Structure formats: structure tokens, C-alpha cells
A and B are shown apart, each in its own frame.
Chain A
């Protein structure tokens, strides 16, 4: 990736926000662990590691703020990634209702449509065949039943 140097930007603010997010998550986890029990067996690793992470995050924060210019990398655009991540989230979260067969078929079809596939035989043919072959293969291979809407729910 080509490196370039830019002045303070939205990107740098985003870097700091991500750092703060990580710091907060680590702190919340540690507080949750302390609330659960102050027994040494519960905190013997979590507490020291959390303290080290918090110190390192502080150092990173200070060095990021102190630097007037920051190294940035070419990054993919948010608008390209967010719809895909959203679609993937919808696919995974709808599996209990749509099942692996129909859920996968719809996910593939929607993804292909979103990325410019307009040939209906390909759109339907690929989505359905791939989803059903995959569903049948895994349902036969796995020792537990998978949620399905159309295909029979049977352990392999």
C-alpha cells in the first residue's frame, strides 16, 4: 500500500476513536471481572494484562495526539464496505428464521445483485445451486441438525 503523509484529518480522529473504543472495551471487561469476583484466581491474568493494555493505549494516544502529521494508508471506502457488512449481518442474524438453505440463497442473490450481476439465470441459478449444495453437504457431514426452511432438517 502506498504510504502518504497528510495533516490532521478525519482519519486521524477515527484512529483515536478506535483506540478509545478498544480502551473502553478492555476497561469494561476488567470491571466486569472485578465485579464478578475479586478472587485471585479470577484476576490473576485479567487484571495485570488489562493494566498493561491501558498503559500502552495511553502511550499510543499521547503519541498519536503529539504527532502533527500522521502516516496513513490507502483505505477502502466506507460506502463500499458498509452495505456488504450489513448484508452479511442480516444473513447471519436471519438464519434462525430463514434457515441455511433459503438464507444463503437470498444472501448470495442479494450480494450478486448489489455488485452488478443482472443476468437472471446466473443470479438465480448460482444462488440456488450453491446454497442447496452447500446446505446438503454440511447437513450430511455434521452430526447435528441445521436450521432449514425447505430442505429436510436431518443430522448426517
Chain B
């Protein structure tokens, strides 16, 4: 299996093992995609969400479950996850493009408008992307969140960008 010997899951495996947003929810706007598949004792994401859209409960090793109806895609959880395993995907950005927001703890941080190489879960460059937002407020505690616009058919594939 990819997870245990490559370090990442395929999209199909992720859909099977996590609470993945439905296509109906994707059509409504930005939503959190929680790619946390290992039952480790960790729950900052649950507490970070003011909308009750992430449920872990007791025991603390439960996988985080997305309550998609409550999620507004604000992205607060992205920087709070110590495992950097949460992403915001927006399939409604434009008719042809969607966006992916991901944690990016490398220097230099890209600038809005910059063209970057978008990579998939394995680090492979899959397409070009345009940085449309960079958030790095104090509350994110030095975990900048970068939002990249890519072609719609790539939003479920792209999970980061090649380091600059």
C-alpha cells in the first residue's frame, strides 16, 4: 500500500479511509479536506474549528471526521494541524479553475500572483498554478497557508508546490 511504504495515499485510498467531502458539498464552495489517516493521539483541529465541523471526540485517537454541512472552508484548521494534513479545496473559484490551500513552512514564501509548480501528494509536478492568496497571521504561528489556483481537474490532485 502506498501509505505504508511510500508515505502518501492515493485519492481512492483517501476517499475510502477518511470522511471525504461529497461532490454536492464541493459544488457549494470551499471545504476542508482532512487527509489524516493514522490514529494518533491528537486533536487541535477539533478545537480550532468554531463551527463544529471537525469531530474527534473520545478517545483522542479517533480520526477527525468532517461535518461538511458545518464547514465554511475558512481554513483556520489548516495551520493548526501539527501534521499539516488539512487542505481547503474550492471547486467554485471560476468556471475553469479551482483553488487548493495548503500549509507551506518553507522559505521563501511565494507572493500573490506568482506562477509556481503545483505538486501532487508524491511531490510530482503536475501542473502550473497561480498563487492567489498567502495567509500568515500571528495566530497561524509561522505556518503560512498558500492558496494556488489550478485547472479544475487538478484540485483533488494538487497538495503543495515545488519549493522555490
Are A and B co-members of a single complex?
no
Residue numbers of B with Cβ under 8 A of A are none
